[in-house]
Amino acid sequence: MKLKVLGSSSRGNCYLLESDDSVLAIEAGIPFREVKQALGWDISRLSACIVSHRHGDHAAHVKDFVSAGVTVFALPDVFTHAGMKNRVCCKEVWPGKGYRIGRWSIIPINVVHDVPCVGYIIEHPEMGRTVFVTDTMMLEYRIPRVSHYMVECNYADDVLQRNIDNGSVLPMMRERLHGTHMELETTKGIIAGADRSCLENVVLIHLSDGNSDEKRFVAEIEAVCGVPTYAADKGMEIDFSLLPF
């Protein structure tokens, strides 16, 4: 099992979880052509795509996935905004309900953003349990036996303040970011309070271009969790195989 990062920023998000026999895409925020290329032009390997919310950097290309015959799992809000209600390949999800896609299972969980948004608990026998959480100010749940976290670490308050002070970021952004995206200390709190008995690695996602500090974020989170920690970058591949504990 491998995680491939095809995009992880406000310019476009998409990740592939690749098992031996199938691939699950997370987010449809990059052109489908790039996804096809990453799959070696064999889209029959793609089981489905799961989407967190309607914003363009996560859902701008949902239509292209559906047109290619890929089943997309997302909140009804995502399909309404894409103008594609009731299509066969559009599967509406409800937070807290479980869905099976071949050997994958997913459970959407509510998070806190400025539009309806979900994270996902994703399971596969070769991977164990992955928690995917992005575009949220916090995570309310403590999920047991997580092997892999893909968790937003968007900005640090002090970096943001420095940017506001030097005029490169508008002061109004402070309030917007506080209510919609995950700050370093919040991410740290989630990892510090998590059940880490099965934890193998942590992938920090959706880092802000200007208000983050990749090396520092990785070092600070790694110090808390004690397992290899990465900041997701386009083109990165990370082993997500389940280790026998």
What mask, x for binding Zn ion by CB under 5 A, covers residues 119 to 138? ----------------x---
Stretch near Zn ion under the rule CB under 5 A, chosen from 56-64, 193-201, 220-228, 230-238 = 56-64
Tell me the closest approach of the beta carbon of residue 135 to Zn ion, in angstroms: 4
CB 217 within 8 A of CB 184: yes
d(CA 121, CA 119): 7
Backbone phi and psi for residue 200, each to the nearest 5 degrees, phi listed first: -110, -40
The smaller minimum CB distance to Zn ion, of residues 53 and 63, is found at 53
Residue number of the CB atom closest to Zn ion: 55
Tell me the closest approach of the beta carbon of residue 16 to Zn ion, in angstroms: 18
d(CA 158, CA 167): 14
Tell me the closest approach of the beta carbon of residue 134 to Zn ion, in angstroms: 6
The smaller minimum CB distance to Zn ion, of residues 111 and 194, is found at 111
d(CA 107, CA 96): 6
The smaller minimum CB distance to Zn ion, of residues 51 and 224, is found at 51
The smaller minimum CB distance to Zn ion, of residues 55 and 124, is found at 55
Q: Which of 4, 55, 124, 129 binds Zn ion (CB under 5 A)?
A: 55
Q: Which of 18, 27, 57, 152 binds Zn ion (CB under 5 A)?
A: 57
First-to-last CA distance in the chain? 17
The smaller minimum CB distance to Zn ion, of residues 57 and 200, is found at 57
CB 91 within 8 A of CB 110: no
What amino acid occupies position 66?
Answer: V
CA dihedral 104, 146, 185, 58 (to 10 degrees): 0
Find the largest Cα–Cα distance for the chain.
51
Interface residues with Zn ion (CB under 5 A) are: 55, 57, 135
